Chain A
């Protein structure tokens, strides 16, 4: 049967530079780095697209619809490979060459991929959030003499954000989990660190258990943090139920 050996977690890696738990935490650092950078971009792009999608007509709203539809219909790993293997060839030659020689391009590709992948989902939430606001509010804002842009800036978007905070929390947890797919393009995040620990030590389940505990801890901390933020920004009588 399986030989358990928990001390392997504290053992020094074969290249002697760190312990295995140390490599896992280095992996976690990259997971957080990629996840957080992608999340910032996703939030901005997603908000803009979500607002555009609430426009009743026009090319922009159609384009935003198509963008969301495309990004939601292609598996994440396929998108990751497109950004990493195909996208550099779409660039002008000089830039393309530079990108291919840059050894950190995989991290950039992972950030772009996760950002756009998540932005489509954020856009969907923002649109739903804005559309759930009674039209009386925007009518009232217009009656006060606000321009359309001002109605969005001061009324619709802030209220929508407060309403969809629980949904955004789960999107944030998703992006942290999805960061693991970046390991397929050789980003040394937590999943990759776990795999290399497993392959070096052959202690499969110790490596996976450690990674699982780290992911659970991060998850728990995010949930606790967001819960207090949600309580702080809850709109009395307006909150919609958590969608999972």
Chain B
């Protein structure tokens, strides 16, 4: 009885603690991790966009073989979890590189380049689907007109179709980049020190999960919220009034 009273008296007491000094001390590592996250996001988005556009062209190409291969690649990678993709490439890329240069042993890669390759290969699938929709949204009359002017396939694509597709799809591409920015946090499972990974490292080393995880959540929330506002503005600006 006495025990029950005592525990009910404490029942409303919450045991969450938040010490800002913990965050302050971790700041240098957090900033370093954040820089890694940004670097990885920007490089993967740029590489993914280029590869994704090429994949989109392959999927829409008249060659059955090319469109099947590109389509199969995109569909398989989109059907399995990103975590599995990260593990696949993390272990597979050293072997592929060794095979390419004819080396006997798998090539060791720096953490950053390994992650960049993974995210470019993965993100290209999503950018491919976006660019494919963008390319298909260009009226065929434009292609015919360009052909009538004697333009070659690559000239038409580079000067007429892709710039317009890119413009039309810009808001979607940016939204996908925000998703990528969040997905990058998954590299922490390879013990990489991205923004979340460095926070997780400190949280476990110092036993301060509250401070570290809440700060990471707050920073992501603030940045993604702002970026989604920016995407809305871009959406209004690039909308073509027909």
Contacts and interface: CB of A to CB of B under 8 A. Distances in A.
A73 B179 CA distance: 9
Nearest 8 pairs of A and B residues by beta carbon: A73-B224, A180-B81, A75-B182, A85-B209, A75-B185, A219-B79, A177-B81, A92-B11
Contacts of A208: 84, 87-88, 91
B10 A216 contact: no
Contacts of A90: 14, 16
A73 B183 CA distance: 11
Contacts of B196: 75, 77-78
B92 interface: yes
Interface string B18-56: 000000000000000000000000000000000000000
Interface residues of A, number: 45
A212 B80 contact: yes
Contacts of B99: 1
A73 B84 contact: no
B84 A244 contact: no
Contacts of A205: 91-92
A70 B214 CA distance: 13
B201 interface: no
B145 interface: no
Contacts of B217: 74, 78-79, 82
13 contacts: A73-B223, A73-B225, A78-B196, A82-B217, A86-B214, A93-B11, A93-B13, A181-B186, A194-B87, A211-B80, A212-B76, A212-B80, A215-B81
A149 interface: no
Interface in A16-34: none
A89 B210 contact: yes
Nearest to B178: A73
B interface secondary structure, majority: helix
Interface in B70-107: 76, 79-84, 87-88, 91-92, 95, 98-99, 104
Given A75-B220, A205-B91, A89 B83 contact: no
A216 B76 contact: yes
Given A73-B225, A208-B87, A216-B76, A81 B213 contact: yes
Interface size class of B (residues with CB under 8 A): 35 or more
A156 to B, nearest CB: 25
A89 B14 contact: yes
B14 A94 contact: no
A198 B87 CA distance: 11
Given A180-B81, A184-B189, A191-B81, A96 B15 contact: yes
A interface secondary structure, majority: helix
A78 B112 CA distance: 21
B185 A78 contact: yes
A221 to B, nearest CB: 11
A141 interface: no
Interface string B184-205: 0110110000001000100100
Interface string A175-215: 00111110110000001001100100000110010011001
Nearest to A81: B213
A75 B195 CA distance: 11
Nearest to A85: B209
Contacts of A195: 87
Interface in A49-71: 69-70
A92 B221 contact: no
B84 A77 contact: no
Given A85-B213, A180-B83, A204-B91, A77 B7 contact: no
B231 interface: no
A75 B178 CA distance: 10
A244 B13 contact: no
Contacts of A70: 221
A1 B104 CA distance: 6
Given A82-B214, A85-B213, A1 B95 contact: yes
B237 to A, nearest CB: 22
Name the residue among A76, A78, A184, A208 with the largest chain B CB count within 10 angstroms: A78
A108 B208 CA distance: 22
B12 A92 contact: yes
A220 B98 CA distance: 34
Contacts of B156: none
A73 B189 contact: no
Contacts of B88: 208, 212
